[in-house]
Amino acid sequence: MLNSGFAVIAIAALLAGAALQIVLALAGYRARRQERNQTAIIRDLQKELLGLQQEVHGLRRQSVPTRRQEPTVLVASEPAPLARREPASPAYELASKLARKGASSEELMDTCGLSRGEVDLITMLNRMGQEARDKGLAVSA
């Protein structure tokens, strides 16, 4: 009887050992599979990062000149006569006339279709021209 009890315990121990080996094998398989997945993800991210770095490098090359150029200075002996100057945009001319007549910035934007910055510039230039005329300086209209 003692022999059969020992055999049952031995068989149970063998089964427990086999079950433990199966559990460890499955855990190892899962760990290797997870490692392969993570390695693939890392590889994909590295490729994406390399592509983004190359794109940034290309954009920098497009936006920044490779060599610094000195600004060109144009010197004219005398200003061009008014008749030879290019005519301004009709919207700018109308805005300038309306500004001289006292139109508000909102009226200039609505009437002439100009942006706030354009209207502010036109009104500032007209105000400066009026101040110069008031001081007796020669200013073309």
**91-125 pLDDT, tens digit each:** 888 888 888 888 888 988 888 888 999 889 888 88
**59/118 same-domain check:** no
pLDDT confidence of residue 138: 61
The proportion of the chain whose per-residue pLDDT surpasses 90, expressed as a percent, equals 23
**6/56 same-domain check:** yes
In a domain, 60, yes or no: yes
* pLDDT > 90? residue 25: yes
In a domain, 74, yes or no: no
Express each pLDDT in 39-70 by its tens digit: 999 999 889 988 888 888 888 888 755 555 55
In a domain, 141, yes or no: no
How sure is the predictor about 132, in pLDDT bands with cuts at 50, 70 and 90?
A: confident
Express each pLDDT in 64-100 by its tens digit: 555 555 555 555 555 555 555 555 678 888 888 888 8
In a domain, 37, yes or no: yes
pTM above 0.85, yes or no: no
**8/59 same-domain check:** yes
Least confident of 6-10, 86-90, 132-136: 86-90
How sure is the predictor about 14, in pLDDT bands with cuts at 50, 70 and 90?
A: very high
Q: How many domains does the chain have?
A: 2
- Domain span at residue 97 reads 88-134
In one letter, which amino acid is 93? E
In a domain, 82, yes or no: no
In a domain, 139, yes or no: no
In a domain, 42, yes or no: yes
**18/58 same-domain check:** yes
In a domain, 30, yes or no: yes
